Structure 1
């Protein structure tokens, strides 16, 4: 009897968490990493995180990195969680410490996918993230 109630309780919790995720819009906002089309090397999540956290200043090919982020939304939330491994408050605290100690400042924050795509296409070393399925000339998707 106890096991049956525990299993039901776990299934109910899982269903509620899934419903909350779907309601918040984060479930469908899968981000993809995009770079300027001139960049041809591979880049994994760990290397991308170091670029966005300004721990590394260049792309693997030596090009100065020009990362940009987006205003808060489902795509940004998913990127922070999956690539940077931080939530909004952790990232805010990280940048507060970096600015205070002279370690750097966060990448520019743009208005949305179109602005990120334009910056990345127009900037050598440009790197950003957009919602899956969005692209334009001059940009290459390197991470799904």
Structure 2
């Protein structure tokens, strides 16, 4: 009986691990296909999304866009690209807003809304799930988990 219990526990752990990895999104940072930026580093992207700079390395304006605050994609992006958790990010933005130094990125509902925005404002930058990439956007960074 102990062996059967061990097998059941192992099987359950494997299933939970598979479902957790399936829930994780494959995040990519994108700009409009019309944008001249070809690629960015994680530090450059972090600087844009954390309000440290409002410009691409070329000097062009960069307008960051966020996914909804409760999305797994957003949590994955900020963890992978900035090293900040959701609570750390809230505290970070509270301080910047209070001191008047910066405003957080504009939040849009989903990848479709982000892609529409990117079409109308090529200077915008966002992150979406890799599966949502199409010809209207250009991947400039695939952050490492």
Match of 2:124 in 1: 126
* Corresponding residue for residue 41 of structure 1: 38
The correspondence for 1:112, drawn from 89, 99, 110, is 110
Normalized against structure 2, the TM-score is what? Answer: 0.79
Q: How many residues are matched? A: 130
Q: Which runs of 5+ in 2 are unaligned?
A: 1-9
Show CA shifts across 1:61-109 (max 9, x none): 1111111001021111110110121001000000000011111110111
Q: Give me the whole-angstrom Cα distance separating, in 2, the residues matched to 1:139 and 1:45.
A: 18
TM-score norm. by structure 1 comes to 0.80
The two structures, once aligned, show a CA RMSD in angstroms of 2.3
Pick aligned residue for 2:50 from 49, 53, 57: 53
2:138 counterpart SS class: strand
